[in-house]
Amino acid sequence: MPHTEALLLPLSLIGIIAASMTAALAAGRRSMDWVGVVLLGSITALGGGSTRDILLGNYPLAWVREPYLLGVTTIAALSTIAFAGGIHRFRHLFLVLDAIGLVVFTIQGCDVALKTGQPLAVVIVAGMISGSVGGVLRDVLCNDVPLLFRSELYASVAIVTGLTYVGGLTLGVSPDVVTLVALAVGLTFRLLAIRFRWEMPKFVYDRD
């Protein structure tokens, strides 16, 4: 296994678990049954990467190639049901884990697109899709306006992370070093955005 993949795999699993658990909480707030909780958790955790691979024609999909990922999302979602009463105490931890997932999924998406020989714009968009679309699917299934389309800096973090990663590789920097730098830049950006409530400008149109 290449060093970069060895670095990203455990962080990716953390991101998958965090995404599945936060989706399970969203399912619980809408009184879904256990099947709904598991499905929403799996779709949220794996939907971004699956969407990316479908658009790029990269088969088999990750969860088909590695079926244990479905087990990970299922266990994470069901564990959320079991420990829901105390999970609110770990809100800040979930924010950090979610940020890690966003950044790691973005880097992985860029890496997949690079390996398939895509141009720069497609590589960056593939990274953004990997990091963000799972949350969009969760919000759509929960009948919410997706977080990505609101004011929070989410897609912006994915774009900056992707540009940092691809830019470093283009300059000939070691993939391991570039990965660590992109992780640090993306994670710092996302956490600062949460801490200081940085937002994108809003378009408000309320005329009849």
Residues 56 and 48 sit within 8 Å (Cβ to Cβ) = no
Q: How far is CA 115 from the centre of its chain?
A: 20
pTM of the prediction? 0.91
* Upper half-sphere CA count for residue 140 (Cβ side, 13 Å): 11
Strand partners, 123: none
Q: Is the pLDDT of residue 31 over 90?
A: yes
- Among the listed ranges 6-20, 70-84, 182-196, which one has the minimum average pLDDT value? 6-20
Q: Where are the alpha helices (DSSP H) in 30-142?
A: 34-56, 62-65, 68-82, 84-87, 91-115, 120-141
pLDDT tens by residue, 152-162:
788 999 999 99
pLDDT surpasses 60 at 78:
yes
Question: In the predicted model, what is the mean pLDDT of residues 21-39?
Answer: 94
- In this prediction, residue 1 carries a pLDDT of 41
DSSP 90: G
pLDDT digits (tens, 9 = 90+) for 119-153: 999 999 999 999 999 999 999 999 998 877 776 78
Sign, CA dihedral 142-50-99-109, equals negative
Mean pLDDT of 83-107: 86
Q: Which of 171, 165, 167 is nearest to 7 (CA)?
A: 165
